[in-house]
A and B are shown apart, each in its own frame.
Chain A
Amino acid sequence: MATVELNNVKKRFGLVEVIHGVSTKIVDGEFIVIVGPSGCGKSTLLRMVAGLESVSEGEIGIGGKTVNDLEPMDRDIAMVFQNYALYPHMSVRENMGYGLKIAKTPKDEIVQKVDAAARLLQLEDYLERRPRDLSGGQRQRVAMGRAIVREPSVFLFDEPLSNLDAKLRVQMRLEIRDLQARLGITTLYVTHDQVEAMTMADRMIVMNAGRAEQIGTPLEVYETPQTLFAAQFIGSPSMNVFETTVVDKTLSVGAAIIPANTKAQGPVTAGVRPEHIIADENGPLSITVQMGEPLGANTLLHGRLGGTSDAFTISLPGVHHAVAGEVIRFSINSKHLHFFDIKTGRRI
């Protein structure tokens, strides 16, 4: 159990800088999700914490000790890989005990620890099997077991669920969260799936193009996204944005003028989440529907924002049979409007 500190961490491959300085402090026992699109540097950041990539600049500390130059094994971490990386020729028991065996742990202690971890992960019946005889979910559990038996102070997960089917993913998501809560081990978890980030994280780091766009709790990021990218990446379906002009706390959308409770002035990028619009026959705004997606609990309608050519999506509760070309009027509560600087994308 330990804190993890990133202090202006940068990574360069040759001359190309891929991580431009990430700083954060992770407290003991916290579950941190690093989320971002492919190629944003989130895995690289995790691998730097693991010691699998060198740190070009800045400092990484685990448990108050700078670990920049330590080998992975000396950092007191355990890692779960996307493709599990189980040793194919070893049984589940040998896989889980391999780290301990290298650390020259007495044999009976290894047996004891592996058995305990297997019980925790419901793998007792599979201990003598080879990884290839296991299902995806079981392999995932073995990979976690291998991490647990070493009793590390930090867990690192690199997109551990992306090879599983949707149903299993939901189940394993809960299991990982539950396990982490029980063991209380500081965890860094990398994913590209914003749902995983929302549901699992104590705090999340939203990354884009090698920068941490926002670091905060899932609801903080959802409710007050600090950048346009964070606003659109977190939340599903993603936030509607359109360029507009604010004049004296009013906002023009096509011909309509709606109140805007903001200190912004002049041209801005405005955003509103699809689930925050209110269907209202007399509403000032409208959408021309192009396509509907009934999800059962709610219905997504995609179309164009009235008076503009901006793509717009709204989410209506229940089932709604919309036809292409239909115009639906709605209003927005001004507290649900977000404003971003048109150039920098920063929240205003």
Chain B
Amino acid sequence: MTHSVAKRRKEPAPGMVEKRGLGLWFTHAIMIFGVLIVFFPIWLAFVASTITQPEIVSPPMPLWPGDQFFTNYKKALFSGVNVPVATMLFNSLVMAIGIAFGKIVISLLSAFAIVYFKFPGKMIFFWLIFLTLMLPVEVRIVPTYQVVAGFGMLNSYGGLILPLIASATATFLFRQFFMTVPDELAEAARVDGARPMRFFWDILFPMSRTNIAALFVILFIYGWNQYLWPLLITTDPEMNTIVMGIKQMFPSGDDVADWPVIMATSILAMIPPVIVVVSMQKLFIRGLVDSEK
């Protein structure tokens, strides 16, 4: 097995042209050009976060970082515009992790129920879950708001997390994964004396590790990037999350925008997702590519 895989990697598949010489340089040039285009705005944001307000508003804007890095970031983190960015980062982190964990736990358990247990209405429940896949958040946002407001969960972590905590996609993914696990494994565990939850913890859960990691990355970013929902239910700046908070920093009316601080906030908002992706990259790719069976 491993042998053939290694071999396949060394020799390109027939029909695939190996690039040499000029071709190699050309493809790299295009790639670097593409990266530059994507990276340039981020670079500009970074530059803007290290210079002073007058330098930004007087064209041309400089292209190299200035000397205000510490001043601007300190100001952003600890005082911000409406609320310190550190508070918003914390709120976002709670929300993103809450959503990611909640979604994973709930979808693991519901997929486990759907695949391994026989109960009346099993298929109906599955299709009900599956149907919600087809409804985007925006469609049900008004009734959801009504419910959350009714429970008095506006401006709370519960209100930020709970409405987004169930995931049909994740349930569906785990269901597909569980169905590829051979039935004999569950039977062997039964013969070994494992009750269903024991089987879940000892066997199914460890086997899903890579899938869970991959899903965690996706869901963390999904949670982190929530914009509309936090915007609706958090009126107290103390509860703002960072992605919506950036928008809240924009001045209304005649106020002057504190661009260096806003740009510093944008850069800060990017860091946690990047850390999550980079640190879980290996597991993430393994989760998407192979599964241990």
**Cβ contact within 8 Å between B190 and A71:** yes
Stretch binding the partner chain, chosen from B90-98, B199-207, B264-272: B199-207
Given the contacts A85-B185, A87-B185, A98 and B192 also touching, CB distance less than 8 Å: yes
Q: How far is the CA of A227 from the CA of B189 in the complex (A)?
A: 39
Given the contacts A81-B184, A82-B184, A98 and B202 also touching, CB distance less than 8 Å: yes
Contact of B207 among A78, A79, A89 (CB under 8 A): A89
CB-based nearest A residue for B190: A72
Interface residues of A in 94-112 (CB under 8 A from B): 98-99, 102-103
Q: How far is the CA of A321 from the CA of B116 in the complex (A)?
A: 59
Chain B min CB distance to A282 (Å): 58
- Asked if B55 lies at the interface with its beta carbon under 8 angstroms from chain A, I say no
**Cβ contact within 8 Å between B191 and A89:** no
Q: How far is the CA of A50 from the CA of B198 in the complex (A)?
A: 20
Contact of B193 among A79, A86, A103, A132 (CB under 8 A): A103
- Asked if A77 lies at the interface with its beta carbon under 8 angstroms from chain B, I say yes
Q: How far is the CA of A146 from the CA of B187 in the complex (A)?
A: 14
Contact of A73 among B191, B207, B209, B292 (CB under 8 A): B191
Encoded as 1 (CB less than 8 Å from any B CB) or 0, chain A from 18 to 45 comes to 0000000000000000000000000000
Chain A min CB distance to B147 (Å): 40
Q: Which residues of A contact B203 (CB under 8 A)?
A: 87, 89
Chain B min CB distance to A86 (Å): 8
Contact of B192 among A89, A102, A132 (CB under 8 A): A102
Chain B min CB distance to A192 (Å): 17
Q: Which residues of A contact B207 (CB under 8 A)?
A: 88-89
**Cβ contact within 8 Å between B292 and A72:** no
Q: Which residues of A contact B187 (CB under 8 A)?
A: 50, 52, 72, 79, 81, 85
- The secondary-structure label for the interface of chain B is helix
Q: How far is the CA of A256 from the CA of B120 in the complex (A)?
A: 67
Q: How far is the CA of A96 from the CA of B194 in the complex (A)?
A: 14
Given the contacts A52-B187, A79-B188, A98-B202, A85 and B194 also touching, CB distance less than 8 Å: no
**Cβ contact within 8 Å between B193 and A85:** no
**Cβ contact within 8 Å between B190 and A52:** yes
Q: Which residues of A contact B182 (CB under 8 A)?
A: 83, 85
Q: How far is the CA of A146 from the CA of B185 in the complex (A)?
A: 13
- Asked if B8 lies at the interface with its beta carbon under 8 angstroms from chain A, I say no
Q: How far is the CA of A103 from the CA of B192 in the complex (A)?
A: 9
**Cβ contact within 8 Å between B184 and A73:** no
Using CB atoms and an 8 Å cutoff, list the residues of chain A in contact with chain B. Answer: 50-52, 71-73, 77-79, 81-83, 85-89, 98-99, 102-103, 132, 146, 150
19 contacts between A and B (CB under 8 A): A50-B187, A52-B191, A72-B193, A73-B190, A73-B193, A77-B191, A78-B191, A79-B188, A81-B187, A81-B188, A83-B184, A85-B185, A86-B188, A87-B185, A88-B293, A89-B203, A89-B206, A89-B207, A132-B292
13 further interface pairs, Cβ-Cβ under 8 Å (given A51-B191, A87-B202, A89-B292)? A50-B191, A52-B191, A72-B187, A72-B193, A73-B190, A73-B194, A86-B188, A87-B203, A98-B192, A99-B192, A102-B198, A103-B193, A132-B292
